[in-house]
C-alpha cells in the first residue's frame, strides 16, 4: 500500500518541518500570520512548490523569507514580471520565493520556494487579513483552512494552479502551533472551537482581551474553527483607520478609511408575517464525494443522507401555493419536474418519493450546466425565485459560475451551503454574494438542518428594494465608497461598507451614515453615528480589506467587459501594488541577491502529496537538480510552468505512478481499489479517502498494473449496506414526525403518529376530547410534543409548526384549552396554549 504523507517518491522527507500560526482578532477582523519552516535534507539543490487554501475574502498583505539571520521581504509586482524574475533568479542559482493567487479560484494560492542549498533552512511568513462571518447565534466564525480538496475539472478546461491539487491520506511529518489573541471594545462572553483548545485566559478584568492556544496533537484532518461570542455582537459599529503619511497624495493608503458594520432591524409587523409565495428550487450535489461521511464521530451520516433529511424538512416547511423543483447534479444533471410545479399534497408526495431514491451517483461536480438550465426557465409571476444550492464545493471554474449567477441576480436570490471539510469558500460565499442571498458552511459535527432552515427564513423575508446609503460628514471631508452597492439586506445580518475619507475637517469630529430602503410598502431608515478619530493599533487591516474589496470589484468588471479589459487590469495592478495585497494579476516576489549557487541541470519535478494542515492543505511538490543530465537554461526548461511540469511527470514516472496520478486527476473517473487494499483495511481507509478526495472516488496505490482492480462503486454499496445495518434503521423522532405532516400543515390520527410519541393509537384515540375531530387532535398533539420535547431544535421545525397553527386556525374549532390540558397529560408536557400560538 502507498506510503501516505508528505514524502518524495524515494520516500525522502519533504523540506516542510513546522508551521507556526498567530491570529490577532480585533472586534470582527482577524490578522493571520503563518510561518513555514523549510529544511533541505537532500544532497542537491531543492525547489518546493505548495498549493494551499485561504479564506475566499482574505487579503494577503505580507510575504517574507528568513534565511539564517537574513530576512527578505517580498514586493508585489505584475504577475508575469514576478514569474520572469523568479525564473531568472532560480536559473542563476539565487534563492527566490514566489506567491501567487489562482486565476480560477481566489481561495487557492501557490507558493514556490527555490534553490535551497543542502542543509539550509528557510522560514517563510505569510500574513493575511479577513473579516469574521456572523453566525445564526450571533457568534463570529474564524476558520483556518486545513483541507484543500481536488477541484473537479470539466472536460476541455485549461490547466492552472487548481489543477495541481490532489489529495492523499495519512499523518504529516511537520508540527503545528497556533495562538490566538482576541481584543474587542465589547466584553468577550466565550470562545468555542471544533478542535481542542487550552483554557481561555483573560488579560483584562473587563474581559475585552483574551488569549488561547490550540492544544498539541491536532491531526490536520479538518479546518480549525473558532466561534467568538461578544456581548452585543449584532450592534452597528464603525472603525476609522488612519492612512500612511508617506503614501502618494490622494491614494487609498494615504487617506483614512472607514469600515461600517450594519445590522438592519426590520419592523415587527413585517417580520410577523413571512411570505407565502415564491418559487423554491433546490439544487443538490450528487457527485461521488457526497458519499463521504459528515464526520467520524458517533451517529455520523453520509453527506447525501444528511442532505436528504434536509430536503424532507424543506419540503414540509414550504407554504401552500408556492412553486418548487429539485435538481441533482454531478457530471450531468437531473430534475424532478420539467418546470417548477405548484406545491400541494400530490406534488410533495411525488418529490419525497424521489428524494428517498437519491444517491451520490452522478460522478463529478459540474454545477455550471444545471444553473444555465435553471436560468433559462421563465420565472413564475408574483413568485420570487429562491435558489438553494448544496455542494461540497470542489469545482475548478469558480469564476465562470459566479459570473453566471451575477448576470441573473435580478431574477432570483441564491442561498448556498458548503458541505464538509474543504468546500471552496470562493464558490460558496461567492454564489451567495452575487446572488443576493446568504452562505452557510456545514462542517464537523454541525447539523445541516438548522443552518438550512435559517436560510429558508431569510428566503421568506420580503425582498428589500431601493437601498441607498447617505453620508453626513463635517465640512471639508468628502467620501468615496469603495464597496459595491448593497444589493441585499436580511433581518439581523451584517452588511459591510468600506469608504475612503478625503480632506480635513473644519471642526466637527462626528460622522453619520444613513441607510434607507423599501420593505413591502414601508420606507425604513437605519442610522449610525460614529467618531472620525482613527482607531488605534489596527495595523492597516481596514485599508487592506478595503483594497481587496475594490480589487475584487475591478476583477469582476474586467471579466464582464472586454472593452475595459486593459484599463481594469492596469487599475487592479496599480491598487494591488500600492496597497500591498494580492490579486489575480500580481504576485509576491522575494529574491536573495546575495546567494548564488551552480545549477547543474534542469530542475526535475517530483510530486509530493499531503492532505490538510493548519495553514493550507498543501499539495507539495519538491524539485532537485538532476545529476548527469544535459544542462538547459532554467527559464526555457520551465517555459510555461504548468505545461513543462506535465511533460516532466509523464516522462519520468513509472507505470505505477502514472496510474496513480491519472486516477487522482480525472475528476469524474471511477477510481479503483485493489483487492490487497480492501483486505488490509477496507472500511476505515475507504471512508477516510473518500472524505478527502473531492469528486474523484477514493484511490489507493496499486502494487502492480497487473493487480485486479474493482470499481469502487461495488465496494461502496457494501459499505452503505453495512452502515444501514449498524444503525439499525434508526430514525430521528423529529424527522419521523415531520415526515407524517400533510402539505396543508395537519397530521392524521393514526398508529404512525402514536409511535413517534411512544404511545398506541388507542391511547391517542381514547383521550380525544369529543368536541374536536381526529386531525385537529393529532395536529394539536404534534405541536405540544414539539414545544414540550424538541424546543431545543426549534429552528428546524419552526415553519412546520407555523403551518400547523395556521391550519388549526382555519378549522374554526373554538376554544382548545381543554384539549391542550389533556394533551399535556398524555404526552407528559407542560405547554400553554399561548406558547403554541393558537
In this structure, the chain runs to a length of 838
Q: Is the pLDDT of residue 628 over 50?
A: no
User: Could you tell me the strand order of the sheet in which 75-78 lies?
Assistant: 75-78, 586-592, 95-101, 108-116, 46-53, 619-625, 603-607
Instruction: Summarize pLDDT for 749-805 with one digit per residue, the tens.
Output: 999 999 999 999 999 999 998 888 999 999 999 999 999 999 988 888 999 999 999
* More confidently predicted of 515 and 55: 515
Grade residue 354 by pLDDT with cuts at 50, 70 and 90: very high
What is the per-residue pLDDT across 452-499, written as a single tens digit (0 to 9) for each?
Answer: 888 888 888 887 888 999 999 998 899 999 988 888 888 777 889 999
Per-residue confidence (pLDDT) for residue 615, from 0 to 100: 36
C-alpha cell at 468: 441607498
> Burial of 572 by CB count in 10 Å (0-12 exposed, 13-18 middle, 19+ buried)?
buried
Percentage of the chain surpassing pLDDT 70? 76
Evaluate if residue 641 carries a pLDDT over 60.
no
- The mean pLDDT value for 191-199 works out to 87
Query: Which of the four pLDDT bands, split at 50, 70 and 90, describes residue 623?
Result: very low
Whole-number percent of the chain with pLDDT over 90: 36
Q: Mean pLDDT throughout 336-341? A: 96
Lowest-pLDDT choice from 31-35, 659-663, 760-764, 821-825: 659-663
SS3 394: coil
Mean pLDDT of 611-632: 33
Q: What is the pLDDT at residue 15?
A: 65
Task: Find which of 393-407, 503-517, 737-751 is predicted with most confidence, using mean pLDDT.
Answer: 737-751
Q: CA 91, CA 523: separation in Å to the nearest integer?
A: 65
pLDDT classification of 598: cutoffs 50, 70, 90: low
* Range with the poorest average pLDDT among 20-29, 56-65, 701-710: 701-710
Read off the pLDDT of each residue in 430-452 and give the average, rounded to a whole number: 84
Residue 815 pLDDT exceeds 50 = yes
> Which residue has better confidence, 561 or 142?
142
Confidence of residue 271 (pLDDT cuts 50, 70, 90): low
Task: Evaluate whether 284 touches 312 at the Cβ level (below 8 Å).
Answer: no
Task: Express each pLDDT in 549-590 by its tens digit.
Answer: 999 888 877 876 655 556 788 999 999 999 999 999 999 999
Are 82 and 587 contacting, i.e. CB atoms less than 8 angstroms apart? yes
Over residues 382-419, the pLDDT tens digits come to: 888 999 999 986 677 888 899 999 899 888 899 999 88
- pLDDT number for residue 758: 93
pLDDT for the residue numbered 493 = 78
Q: How many CB atoms neighbour CB 2 within 10 A?
A: 18
Question: pLDDT-based confidence at 825, cuts 50/70/90?
Answer: very high
The pLDDT of 591-598, averaged and rounded, is 73
In 286-353 the beta strands, taken as DSSP E runs, fall at 323-329, 333-335, 341-342
Phi, psi for 106 (deg, rounded to 5)? -70, 0
The stretch 626-648 carries a mean pLDDT of: 35
Provide the pairing of β-strand 95-101 with 29-39.
Answer: unpaired
Q: Which three cell numbers stand for residue 214?
A: 490550540
> Looking at per-residue confidence, does 231 or 786 come out higher?
786
Least confident of 537-546, 570-579, 638-647, 786-795: 638-647
pLDDT of residue 596: 66
- Is the pLDDT at 668 greater than 70, yes or no? no
Structure-model confidence comparison of residues 726 and 432, the more confident one = 432
Q: How confident is residue 160, by pLDDT bands cut at 50, 70 and 90?
A: low
CB 718 within 8 Å of CB 323: no
Single out the residue of 357, 337, 332, 328 nearest to residue 279, CA to CA.
337
Q: How far apart are CA 723 and CA 249, in angstroms?
A: 66
Mean pLDDT of the chain: 77
pLDDT of residue 630: 29
- For the chain, domains (ranges, CATH) are 16-228+581-653 (2.60.40), 237-269+464-559 (2.60.40), 277-460 (3.40.50.410), 669-727 (no CATH), 733-836 (no CATH)
Q: Which residue has the cell 400560538?
A: 837
Which pLDDT value is given to residue 1?
22
The two beta strands, 495-503 and 257-262, are antiparallel
* pLDDT above 60 (res 2): no
User: Taking Cα atoms as reference points, which of 511, 529, 599, 643 lies closest to residue 235?
Assistant: 529
Per-residue pLDDT of 21-35, as tens digits, reads: 999 998 889 999 998
pLDDT band at 703 (very low <50, low <70, confident <90, very high): very low
Grid cell for residue 215: 492544544
pLDDT value of position 186: 86
Which pLDDT value is given to residue 9? Answer: 41
pTM: 0.70
DSSP 3-state of 773: coil
**433 or 752, greater pLDDT:** 752
* pLDDT (average), residues 356-362: 92
pLDDT band at 634 (very low <50, low <70, confident <90, very high): very low
Predicted local distance difference test score (pLDDT) of residue 328: 95
State which H helix or E strand residue 193 sits in. Answer: strand 188-193
Q: Between vectors from CA 14 to CA 9 and to CA 18, what angle results, nearest 5°? A: 155
Number of H helices, E strands in the chain: 22, 35
CB atoms within 10 A of CB 464: 20
Q: Is it the case that residue 249 has pLDDT exceeding 70?
A: yes
> Which tops the pLDDT comparison, 260 or 42?
260
pLDDT at 152 over 70: no
Higher pLDDT, 608 or 453: 453
Distance CA 417, CA 430 (A): 11
DSSP class of residue 75?
Answer: E
For the residues 327-335, what does the mean pLDDT come to?
A: 93
Which residue, 480, 522, 530, is CA-closest to 261?
A: 530
Amino acid at each position: 500500500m502507498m506510503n501516505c504523507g508528505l514524502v518524495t517518491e524515494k520516500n525522502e522527507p519533504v523540506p516542510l518541518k513546522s508551521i507556526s500560526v498567530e491570529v490577532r482578532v480585533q472586534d470582527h477582523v482577524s490578522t493571520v500570520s503563518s510561518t513555514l519552516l523549510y529544511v533541505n535534507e537532500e544532497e542537491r539543490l531543492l525547489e518546493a512548490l505548495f498549493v494551499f487554501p485561504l479564506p475566499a475574502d482574505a487579503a494577503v498583505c505580507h510575504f517574507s523569507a528568513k534565511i539564517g539571520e537574513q530576512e527578505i521581504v517580498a514586493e508585489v509586482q505584475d504577475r508575469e514580471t514576478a514569474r520572469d524574475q523568479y525564473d531568472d533568479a532560480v536559473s542563476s542559482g539565487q534563492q527566490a520565493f514566489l506567491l501567487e493567487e489562482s486565476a480560477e479560484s481566489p481561495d487557492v494560492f501557490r507558493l514556490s520556494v527555490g534553490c535551497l542549498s543542502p542543509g539550509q533552512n528557510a522560514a517563510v511568513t505569510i500574513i493575511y487579513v479577513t473579516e469574521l462571518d456572523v453566525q445564526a447565534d450571533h457568534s463570529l466564525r474564524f476558520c483556518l483552512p486545513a483541507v484543500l480538496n481536488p477541484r473537479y475539472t470539466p472536460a476541455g478546461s485549461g490547466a492552472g494552479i487548481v489543477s495541481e491539487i490532489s489529495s492523499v491520506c495519512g499523518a504529516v511529518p511537520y508540527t503545528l502551533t497556533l495562538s490566538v489573541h482576541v481584543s474587542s471594545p465589547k466584553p468577550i462572553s466565550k470562545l468555542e472551537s471544533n478542535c481542542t483548545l487550552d483554557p481561555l485566559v483573560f488579560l483584562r478584568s473587563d474581559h475585552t482581551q483574551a488569549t488561547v492556544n490550540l492544544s498539541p496533537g491536532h491531526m490536520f484532518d479538518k479546518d480549525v474553527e473558532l466561534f467568538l461570542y461578544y456581548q452585543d455582537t449584532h450592534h452597528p459599529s464603525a472603525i476609522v483607520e488612519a492612512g500612511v503619511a508617506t503614501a502618494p497624495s490622494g491614494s487609498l493608503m494615504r487617506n483614512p478609511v472607514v469600515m461600517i458594520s450594519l445590522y438592519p432591524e426590520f419592523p415587527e409587523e413585517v417580520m410577523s408575517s413571512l411570505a407565502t409565495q415564491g418559487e423554491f428550487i433546490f439544487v443538490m450535489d450528487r457527485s461521488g464525494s457526497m458519499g463521504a461521511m459528515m464526520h467520524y464521530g458517533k451517529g455520523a451520516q453520509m453527506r447525501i443522507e444528511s442532505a436528504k433529511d434536509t430536503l424532507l424538512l424543506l419540503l414540509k416547511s414550504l407554504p401552500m401555493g408556492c412553486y418548487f423543483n429539485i435538481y441533482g447534479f454531478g457530471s450531468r444533471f437531473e430534475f424532478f419536474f420539467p418546470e417548477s410545479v405548484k406545491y400541494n399534497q400530490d406534488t410533495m408526495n411525488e418529490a419525497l418519493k424521489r428524494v428517498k431514491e437519491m444517491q451520490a451517483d452522478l460522478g463529478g461536480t459540474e454545477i455550471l450546466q444545471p444553473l444555465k438550465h435553471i436560468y433559462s426557465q421563465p420565472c413564475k409571476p408574483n413568485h420570487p425565485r429562491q435558489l438553494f444550492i448544496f455542494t461540497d464545493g470542489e469545482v475548478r471554474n469558480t469564476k465562470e459560475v459566479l459570473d453566471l449567477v451575477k448576470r441573473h441576480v435580478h431574477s432570483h436570490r441564491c442561498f448556498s451551503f458548503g458541505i464538509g471539510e474543504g468546500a471552496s469558500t470562493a464558490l460558496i460565499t461567492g454564489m451567495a454574494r452575487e446572488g443576493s442571498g446568504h452562505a452557510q458552511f456545514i462542517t464537523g459535527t454541525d447539523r445541516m438542518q438548522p443552518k438550512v432552515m435559517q436560510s429558508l427564513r431569510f428566503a421568506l423575508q420580503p425582498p428589500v428594494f431601493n437601498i441607498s446609503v447617505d453620508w453626513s460628514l463635517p465640512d471639508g471631508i468628502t467620501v468615496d465608497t469603495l464597496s459595491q452597492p448593497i444589493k441585499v439586506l436580511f433581518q439581523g445580518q451584517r452588511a459591510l461598507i468600506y469608504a475612503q475619507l478625503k480632506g480635513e475637517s473644519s471642526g466637527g469630529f462626528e460622522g453619520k451614515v444613513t441607510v434607507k430602503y423599501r420593505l413591502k410598502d414601508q420606507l425604513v431608515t437605519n442610522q449610525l453615528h460614529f467618531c472620525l478619530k482613527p482607531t488605534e493599533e489596527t495595523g492597516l487591516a481596514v485599508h487592506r480589506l478595503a483594497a481587496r474589496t475594490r480589487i475584487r470589484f475591478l476583477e469582476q468588471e474586467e471579466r464582464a467587459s472586454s472593452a475595459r479589459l486593459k484599463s481594469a487590469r492596469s487599475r487592479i495592478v496599480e491598487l494591488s501594488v500600492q496597497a500591498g495585497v494580492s490579486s489575480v494579476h500580481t504576485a509576491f516576489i522575494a529574491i536573495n541577491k546575495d546567494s548564488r549557487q551552480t545549477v547543474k541541470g534542469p530542475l526535475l519535478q517530483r510530486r509530493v502529496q499531503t492532505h490538510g494542515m493548519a495553514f493550507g492543505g498543501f499539495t507539495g511538490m519538491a524539485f532537485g537538480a538532476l545529476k548527469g543530465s544535459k544542462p538547459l537554461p532554467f527559464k526555457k526548461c520551465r517555459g510555461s510552468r504548468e505545461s513543462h511540469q506535465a511533460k516532466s511527470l509523464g516522462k519520468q514516472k513509472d507505470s505505477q505512478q502514472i496510474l496513480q496520478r491519472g486516477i487522482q486527476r480525472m475528476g469524474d473517473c471511477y477510481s479503483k481499489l485493489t483487492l490487497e487494499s480492501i483486505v488490509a483495511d477496507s472500511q476505515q481507509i475507504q471512508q477516510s479517502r473518500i472524505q478527502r478526495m473531492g469528486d474523484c472516488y477514493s484511490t489507493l496505490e496499486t502494487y502492480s498494473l497487473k493487480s485486479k482492480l474493482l470499481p469502487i462503486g461495488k465496494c461502496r454499496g457494501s459499505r452503505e449496506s453495512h452502515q444501514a445495518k449498524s444503525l439499525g434503521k434508526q430514525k430521528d423522532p423529529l424527522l419521523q414526525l415531520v415526515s407524517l405532516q400533510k402539505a396543508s400543515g395537519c397530521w392524521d390520527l393514526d398508529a404512525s403518529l402514536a409511535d413517534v410519541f411512544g404511545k398506541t393509537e388507542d391511547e391517542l384515540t381514547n383521550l380525544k376530547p369529543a368536541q374536536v375531530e381526529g386531525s385537529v387532535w393529532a395536529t394539536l398533539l404534534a405541536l405540544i410534543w414539539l414545544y414540550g420535547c424538541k424546543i431545543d431544535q426549534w429552528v428546524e421545525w419552526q415553519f412546520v409548526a407555523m403551518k400547523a397553527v395556521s391550519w388549526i386556525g382555519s378549522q374554526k374549532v373554538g376554544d382548545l384549552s381543554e384539549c391542550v390540558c389533556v394533551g399535556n397529560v398524555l404526552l407528559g408536557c407542560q405547554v400553554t396554549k399561548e406558547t403554541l400560538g393558537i
